Amino acid sequence: MSVFSSIPVFDAVTAVLLIPIASAVLLALLPGYRTTARLNVFASLLTLLAALSMLVAERPAPGQYLLVDDLNIVFIVLNTFVGFTTSVFSASYIAHELETGRLTPVNLRFYHAMYQIMMFGMNLAFVSNNIGLMWVAVELATLTTVLMVGIYRTHEALEAAWKYFILGSVGIAFALFGTILVYLVAQPVVGEGYDAMVWTILITHAATFDPALLNVAFVFLLLGYGTKVGLAPLHAWLPDAHAEGPTPISAVLSGLLLNVALYAVLRFKILLAASPEAIAPGPLMMTMGLTSLIFAAFMLYRRRDIKRMFAYSSIEHMGIIVFAFGLGGPLANFGGLLHMVMHSLTKSAIFFAVGHIAQIKGTQRLSSIRGLTETHPALGWGLVIGVVAIAGLPPLGIFMSEFLVVSSTFAKEPLLAIPLVFGLLVAFGALLLRLTGVAFGQPRGSITPAEASYIPMYSHLALVLGAGIYLPPPLVAWFQHIANLLR
């Protein structure tokens, strides 16, 4: 703690933004895979350390463009941590892609540069105090992931990238229109110019805004950013992007990028809740959340591609998170926040495992992947733990967060607990059905030993297990404070 205590938070925020963008320039220029892979890991580590310093450094007053508060620090620390561990996983994964000829040295320079630009875009979205700047940052992060999804240049990869781009553009257009409406509703109260786009000023005057126009704005914002969250029926880009892009990008999409759009939704939910005459945002969020949960749970049974299956699992869990935040209240918000953190850690760990599995077996088809615990024990058991965690079994962290969400639903809206628990049970059955064959069936496919590091995967799983057994009191107090802020 003393290491960081003398670091001004402004310097930390500057580092969180400048390290990725400066690294991206270097990575675009430097040749050689080993150098660029190491630089990518090193830059991600420095960004993580800068983010951690925000936990203990003094916070400056909010400015026109940047804001640091309790809510966004959670997202920034989670974002930079998973960004760092994914960069470590990416180093071995991308090396294999280079050896097999799926990627060229030019592709790798592009990949590593885009990785850091993506991290810059996500970090900028989190620290933005200007709703217009936040929109730009989300769009930047989206465009970089679109380019990375299509990096293999196959017909399927390009089709997935275009689908992601088109549907993402529709969503971001809705979000832009909603942002403009918020500016228009604020303009008569706070005046023209930047002040009508500064979130801290907006929240101060929200009670005096025209509630009718604010309602319309939130609907467009929820639809727009909900597309990026992957909520049904706006989810169609997500399975293709996961299946056809590099697996590190799948880990980032599920573990990080969905959270960026969720963060934007939460910011505008707080704004709407501050207007006493506006509609309650909760019912809209709960409806989309439950729809996503139940739809994705049934779709898990139809998947034949392992990455597509876990893409639908991400849709399911983002539905649970949005439902929890829509339900509101200290307990549900606490459960939603914890579930978001646990899902990011668990799902990225699962994709780390899936990436190595696909490289070893040479396929992503579930029917061609069998008996992993026998042929590749470290990898197979890592996948087993990850699936058990994401299915919500004790004593792992997602069990605790789902228990909190279900408990708060029974307390506040008992009838909604029926579809919620039903969706969880349907998804649970699908995941265990698929896991049985993949992990314990008759071995099938290549039995070549995997030359990869499993440290990122097992470090995530260790954190998820630790959170399921014991949450430190300072962390609980911090999350409780944020849960109260979310209303």
pTM of the model: 0.93
Task: Please return the burial class of 100, using the count of CB atoms within 10 Å of its CB with bins 0-12, 13-18 and 19+.
Answer: exposed
% of residues, the chain, pLDDT over 90: 54
Closest CA to 314 of 333, 341, 295, 296: 296
The predicted model gives 48-59 an average pLDDT of: 87
pLDDT > 80? residue 7: no
Write the pLDDT tens digit of every residue in 439-480.
887 777 666 655 667 899 999 999 999 999 999 998 999 899
pLDDT > 90? residue 421: yes
Looking at every residue in the chain, the average pLDDT score rounds to 89
- The pLDDT assigned to 261 comes to 92
Take residue 47 and report the two structure tokens written for it: 């960004």
Closest CA to 316 of 406, 394, 390: 390
pLDDT > 50? residue 4: no
% of residues, the chain, pLDDT over 70: 96
- The pLDDT assigned to 284 comes to 92
The predicted model gives 120-148 an average pLDDT of: 93
Higher pLDDT, 329 or 9: 329
pLDDT > 60? residue 483: yes
Take residue 275 and report the two structure tokens written for it: 């207007």
253: DSSP letter: I
How far is residue 175's CA from residue 369's CA, in Å, rounded to a whole number? 40
pLDDT > 80? residue 61: no
- The pLDDT assigned to 449 comes to 59
One-letter amino acid for residue 55 of the chain: L
Task: Provide CB contacts within 8 A for 436, sequence distance 6+.
Answer: none
- The pLDDT assigned to 89 comes to 92
Write the pLDDT tens digit of every residue in 340-398.
999 999 999 999 999 988 888 888 888 888 888 888 888 889 999 999 999 999 999 99
Cβ distance 51 to 80 under 8 Å?
Answer: yes
pLDDT > 50? residue 6: no
Task: Please return the burial class of 19, using the count of CB atoms within 10 Å of its CB with bins 0-12, 13-18 and 19+.
Answer: buried
- The pLDDT assigned to 434 comes to 84
Helix residue ranges, H only, 100-191? 105-127, 131-149, 155-190
How far is residue 179's CA from residue 157's CA, in Å, rounded to a whole number? 32
Mean pLDDT check: name the lowest of 19-33, 50-64, 147-161.
50-64
